[in-house]
Structure 1
Amino acid sequence: MGVNGAGKTTMAALLAGLYHPSSGRITVDGTDLADLDPVTWRARVCAVFRDFVRYPLTVRDHVTLGGTRTAGSIL
C-alpha cells in the first residue's frame, strides 16, 4: 500500500511487461525481462487493475481472471 501517485500501478505494469522501463532494467531470476518471450511471460503473471468501484467477483475469480487453466489447478 502507498499514497496516490507513488507508482504502485506503474510498477505492476512494468512487472507485467505492459510498459518498458525508460532507464535501467527489470530482471527475472537474473534474466532481463526484455529478453524473455512476452507471450510466455504474460502467461505467468496477472495484473488486475482496480478502479474506484468494487468488482462483483470472488478472490478466486480475480486470481484466475484471463487464465487458461482451470481455477482448481491454480488455487
Structure 2
Amino acid sequence: MLPVQRFQSFDGVSIAYRTLGEGWPTLLLHGFLASAESNWFLPGIAAALAQAGRKVIAPDLRGHGRSDAPTDPAA
C-alpha cells in the first residue's frame, strides 16, 4: 500500500491522504462509513486512473480511515 501523507486542517485535525500517478489531478472522495483505501485503492480504481495518465489524490475524510477522529463536538 502507498505511504500515507498528512496535512493539518484549519483546526489542527490531521487529515491523511495518498497520491498515485502523474498528470491531471483527480480528487477521489470516499463515501460514508468508508475510506480512500476501501473505496479506491483495494478495488484497483486508483491504479486504473493512474495508468490512464491521472494523478490520483485520495484523502481519508475527517473521522474516517487514517485521519484523526476528534471526539470534541467543536471539532
TM-score normalised according to structure 1 size = 0.26
Larger % of helix: which?
1
Higher relative contact order (CA closer than 8 Å, sequence separation 6+)? 2
Select the structure of larger CA radius of gyration: 1
